[in-house]
Amino acid sequence: MSTGGRTLVAERGGALGGSLRVPGDKSISHRAVMLGAIADGTTVVDGFLGGADNRATIAAFRALGVAVEGPDENHRVVVHGVGRDGLRAAEGPLDLGNSGTSMRLLAGLLAAQPFDTTLTGDASLTRRPMRRVTEPLATMGAVIETGAEGTPPLTIRGGRVLTGIDYALPVASAQVKSALLLAGLYAQGTTRVTEPAPTRDHTERMLAGFGYAVERGDGWAAVTGGGRLTAAEVDVPADISSAAFFLVAASIIPGSELVLEHVGVNPTRTGVIEILCLMGADIREENPREVGGEPVADLRVRAAELHGIDIPEALVPLAIDEFPVLFIAAAAARGTTRLTGARELRVKESDRIQVMADGLNTLGVVAEPAEDGITITGGPLGGGRVASHGDHRIAMAFAVAGAVADAPVTITDCDNVETSFPDFAGAARAAGLAVREAGPDEY
Ligand code: S3P
């Protein structure tokens, strides 16, 4: 996809050093607004990620009649909850921009409201598969119209009575699990979701933090409808998915030693650390603590010689958003890295297997895509011009590649970096990376 917009240039610089707190966790920020909106009372969220995706969630709830203040310059958001039955019909379609999480979770949350809602998004989001949520929601009694091919826009018909289901997810997806649990808050009886492999459990943890009982067992979570949520204080940790760019950069740039502060290290998110450590990385968790039901630590990363591995399939859902930059680690490593069991990467903000393979090939790296993964042979990286296809994580991954390439790497279509990491280039420079916006003659 081409969205146009900014071009970034990344070049070889020096070692990374010092300490850095990357912006707040995107998944947790979305959920804090959603649960705060339907809770009784006022929810205060600190460390909120003010990126475009989370702003789209805030705008959606404002349109549904919820007063939301912020985010202010201290990353605080205040959500004045309207209670479980207080949402009001929006006047027009809700535009969720690039945000798959907003769309899928809202589909569940809005499935049992008394009014209709239409959800839409940008060119990338309107190509993404939504039947994975609309089909199980229909089994609960929801009526949701999709475009041809099961893609957005979604029109959710109001006034439906939902009944809890016992659902086994066909793919490991926290978005689908969360959509069903949120619908389950409004359903008669119990909604139980079983997952084929562990996925991020922020919804389960945060529901508990808002005083809503969540039953959990080995590979499943369940809620019983009809209860109420009580407003809470949410302290959002730094996003491990944003920290990942620096974990890889500091690992592959000789002489680096960097501390990433206050990073969320929920075990359903730490696959990136496990994979990098299997490749020989030197990453230590310091000052482990728990903040609002989520584990947090400072991550100290030192440069190390990485080597290729066969990535264990069990780690794939635990690192699902970090593969673009893990592929850069693989390109900079000695030997061959093989990823399998990761077909989901083809339906993210872009087809991350193909787009990364194309970009790596442009930089002279041998990267062979497969239907469900990729094989990457480590070796020297050259410079060149790569297309991010409007995918924030592809753009930032190639910015890391530029730091070890023989010549500058120019990355096009970078506006969507703002969806998850506002001022990425500024943070990257503060850590020591040579990343800048292209001048007019470099486009
Ligand atoms: C997310 C879940 C993941 C992830 C996405 C955020 C969430 O998607 O890729 O960026 O907040 O629940 P899937 O659940 O579809 O894998």
> What does the pLDDT look like over 417-429, one tens digit per residue?
999 999 999 999 9
- 8-23+237-442 and 26-235: same fold? yes
How many whole angstroms from 352 Cα to the centroid of ligand 1?
Answer: 14
- Map out the domains of the chain as residue ranges: 8-23+237-442, 26-235
pLDDT at site 442: 75
pLDDT at site 441: 74
Cβ distance 30 to 57 under 8 Å?
Answer: yes
Rounded distance between C-alpha atoms, residue 352 and residue 347, angstroms: 8
- Enumerate the known binding-site residues for phosphoenolpyruvate: 26, 100, 128, 175, 352, 393
Rounded distance between C-alpha atoms, residue 324 and residue 311, angstroms: 14
Residue of 33, 102, 175, 350 to mutate, ligand 1, most atoms within 8 A of C-beta: 175
Q: Give helix then strand counts, H and E, for the chain.
A: 12, 25
- Enumerate the known binding-site residues for 3-phosphoshikimate: 26-27, 31, 173, 175, 321, 348
Ligand 1 atom 10: the closest Cα is on which residue? 321
**How many Cβ atoms are within 10 Å of 192's Cβ, its own excluded?**
20
Reported as a single tens digit per residue, the pLDDT across 399-415 is: 999 999 999 999 999 99
| Closest atom of ligand 1 relative to the 199 alpha carbon | 14
- Enumerate the known binding-site residues: 26-27, 31, 100, 128, 173, 175, 321, 348, 352, 393
- Using a 6 Å CB cutoff, which residues line ligand 1? 27, 101, 173-175, 178, 199-200, 320-321, 344
| Closest atom of ligand 1 relative to the 203 alpha carbon | 12
Residue of 101, 181, 195, 199 to mutate, ligand 1, most atoms within 8 A of C-beta: 101
How many whole angstroms from 320 Cα to the centroid of ligand 1?
Answer: 8
Cβ distance 301 to 246 under 8 Å?
Answer: yes
Catalytic: 321?
yes
Taking the C-alpha atoms of 93, 43, 28 and 346 in order, what is their torsion angle to the nearest 10 degrees? -10
How many whole angstroms from 407 Cα to the centroid of ligand 1?
Answer: 34
Cβ distance 123 to 389 under 8 Å?
Answer: no
CATH numeric code, 26-235: 3.65.10.10
Element (H, E) at 429: helix 424-431
How far the first Cα of the chain sits from its last, in Å, is 17
Helical axes 174-184 vs 100-109, angle rounded to 10°: 20
DSSP output for 240-256? HHHHHHHHHHHHHSTT-
Whether CATH 3.30.300.30 fits 8-23+237-442: no
Q: Which residues of the chain have pLDDT under 70?
A: 1-4, 443
pLDDT at site 354: 98
pLDDT at site 2: 44
Q: How many Cα atoms sit within 13 Å of 313 on the Cβ side?
A: 10
How many whole angstroms from 14 Cα to the centroid of ligand 1?
Answer: 34
β-bridge pairing 257-264 and 294-302:
antiparallel
Which of 321, 351, 391, 413 is labelled catalytic?
Answer: 321
| Closest atom of ligand 1 relative to the 241 alpha carbon | 10
Amino acid present at 105 = L
Rounded distance between C-alpha atoms, residue 124 and residue 413, angstroms: 13
pLDDT at site 5: 87
Could you say which DSSP state residue 24 is in?
Answer: B
How many whole angstroms from 213 Cα to the centroid of ligand 1?
Answer: 23
Rounded distance between C-alpha atoms, residue 429 and residue 425, angstroms: 6
